[in-house]
Amino acid sequence: MNNLAVLFRKELHATFSSPIAYTVAAVFLLVLGYTFSLTLFATKIANLNYIFHQIYVLSILLVPVLTMRAFAEERRTDTLELLLTAPVREISIVLAKFFATLTLVLGMFAGSLAYVVVLGVYGDPDWGPLYSGYLAVALHAGLLVSIGLLMSSLTENQVVAAALSLGALLMLWFADSAAYLLPRPFDLFVINLSLIGHFKPTVGGSVFLSDVGYFVSISMLALFLTTRKLAER
Amino acid sequence: MIDGDETYAILAEGVSKRYRSFTAVDRLNLGVRRGEVFCLLGPNGSGKTTFIRMLAGYLSPSAGRLLIAGHDVVRDGLAAKRKIGYVPESVPLYSHMRVGEFLRFMARLRQVPVAAVEAAVRRAAELLALGDVLRKPIRALSRGYRQRTALAQALVHDPEVLILDEPTNGLDPRQIMETRALIRSLAGRHTILMSSHILSEVEKTADRAGLLLDGKLLGVRSIAETPDLEGWFLSVT
């Protein structure tokens, strides 16, 4: 636990020392603000459903850029050797990187709370879907970061890591499209793998344990595989 | 902790490392006595770095047993890692950190108690003459200072065993002499295992040397009792 805290502080420092974090956050908030303003003026409806879907898409495109360095850079500069020869468990190294990147991503998402304030002051929003919407994007962030870390652990090339993450996330997003081509029960399996299929109900205000379980279990599986990859030497 | 011969800080018994059909280290047996400077001598590709990486816990042996201060590096890896300070050949450092910050981070990672961290960093910085650059970013350091910073992080927790992979690689003549003098000054208090492919370095630094070739340990000699190290090297290889 103590080592996890030490590593987490180091990762946070590394994350916020890099211009990548600020660039990605700026692009994310700029696009989100633009979309929010357009949607609000066009529809005059006090909900953030559209914004949550924007966050869904933007984060699939941008989180791989944040996670690509995690292990790829440590491998390239050999600093992973320093970490792995210190008296720390591989899981602590993985969790420190996971929580540090998740902190940044959730911080970016928190920028959208300004829109909630605007809606609360000038409109009469339905608060239930807002809460479930933020739960959905938080779970979504955990899944993106954990898959990004797994892909970063497979290579020492950051661009390859980002491309692998993006590919894996897009495949998960569109997994259900392949269901029409498959016989039962494989079609059901593929439909249930779909990222958007588990995101949509939660954002719409229907929080099911199966959807929450999907995000949590895929995130934990990816973190487990990342830890195994680090231990394999 | 395994009960064994207290004479040895490092004990390797039949240690091998295989990658599919390639054997990098082949059934190596070695004992490094407490407080001595032991040098693994051998040409590039002889298996020195692989053996050192297994000692440091970065690689797992395919066969055999490796003990550091009585702790098995596989079964009791965390305890073994607490006993070592390690400088890899590539001298990896976090370039975005300042020297002092990096040493504090490594001290905490090496489980120096919070209250003792500042004193530990001061002691390591003093030993390596890093006082003037503690606030400097690592990315701005010269090669010599980078090497000293790497040595300082390996010493910051006052380890029983110091493992140095080619510690003078890439240094200028003055820095090489300073590093050799430092290694000699640390002997006794720490057990030091280093690697080198330079005969003169082994002669000036080590108490004993082991010759490694194609992953096999061909022999171990006391430097004091081997006046013609070059002759021994040529006769064995």
Tell me the domain boundaries of chain A. 2-231
Q: What's the farthest any 2 CA atoms get from each other in chain A?
A: 58
Residue A233 has pLDDT above 90, yes or no: no
Q: What average pLDDT does the segment A139-165 reach?
A: 96
Is residue A92 very low, low, confident or very high in pLDDT (cuts 50, 70, 90)?
very high
DSSP states along chain A: -HHHHHHHHHHHHHHHHSHHHHHHHHHHHHHHHHHHHHHHHHH-----HHHHHHHHHHHHHHHHHHHTHHHHHHHHTTHHHHHHTSS--HHHHHHHHHHHHHHHHHHHHHTTHHHHHHHHHHS---HHHHHHHHHHHHHHHHHHHHHHHHHHHT-S-HHHHHHHHHHHHHHHHTGGGGGGGS-TTHHHHHHHH-HHHHHHHHHTT---HHHHHHHHHHHHHHHHHHHHHHH--
User: What pLDDT shows up at residue A180?
Assistant: 83
Q: What is the pTM of this model?
A: 0.91
Q: Do A18 and B93 touch (CB under 8 A)?
A: no
CATH number of B1-83+164-237: 3.40.50.300
Contact B2, B71 (CB under 8 A): yes
Residue B2 has pLDDT above 60, yes or no: no
Inter-chain CB pairs, A–B, below 8 Å: 61
A-chain residues near B59 (CB < 8 A) = 233
Q: Do A82 and B90 touch (CB under 8 A)?
A: no
Contact B200, B176 (CB under 8 A): no
**Token code pair at residue B193:** 């295992």
Q: Do B94 and A79 touch (CB under 8 A)?
A: yes
Amino acid in position A41: F
Residue B94 touches partner A, C-beta closer than 8 Å: yes
Q: How far is A135 from chain B (nearest CA, A)?
A: 34
CA distance A86 to A171: 37
User: What pLDDT shows up at residue B4?
Assistant: 52
Q: Do A78 and B94 touch (CB under 8 A)?
A: no
B-chain residues near A85 (CB < 8 A) = 56-58, 81, 84, 86, 88
Q: Do B109 and A3 touch (CB under 8 A)?
A: yes
DSSP strand pairing (B8-19 vs B22-33) = antiparallel
Q: Sign (positive/negative) of CA torsion B122, B128, B134, B137?
A: negative
Hey, which residues 7-66 in chain B have their CB within 8 Å of chain A? 53, 56-60
User: What pLDDT shows up at residue A184?
Assistant: 86
Hey, which residues 161-200 in chain B have their CB within 8 Å of chain A? none
**Alpha-carbon dihedral A99, A103, A109, A110, rounded to 10 degrees:** 140
CA distance B67 to B31: 9
Structural domain boundaries in chain B: 1-83+164-237, 95-159
Q: Do B82 and A84 touch (CB under 8 A)?
A: no
Residue B1 has pLDDT above 70, yes or no: no
Is residue B227 very low, low, confident or very high in pLDDT (cuts 50, 70, 90)?
confident
User: What pLDDT shows up at residue B44?
Assistant: 87
User: What pLDDT shows up at residue A126?
Assistant: 86
Complex prediction ipTM: 0.90
User: What pLDDT shows up at residue B170?
Assistant: 80
Residue A44 touches partner B, C-beta closer than 8 Å: no
User: What pLDDT shows up at residue A131?
Assistant: 93
- Per-residue pLDDT of A31-66, as tens digits, reads 999 988 888 788 777 678 888 999 999 999 999 999
Chain A residue whose CA is closest to B60 = A233
CB nearest A86 (choices: B93, B96, B110): B110
B-chain residues near A3 (CB < 8 A) = 109, 111
- Per-residue pLDDT of B71-127, as tens digits, reads 999 999 999 999 999 999 999 999 999 999 999 999 999 999 999 999 999 999 999
**Alpha-carbon dihedral B187, B191, B104, A102, rounded to 10 degrees:** 160
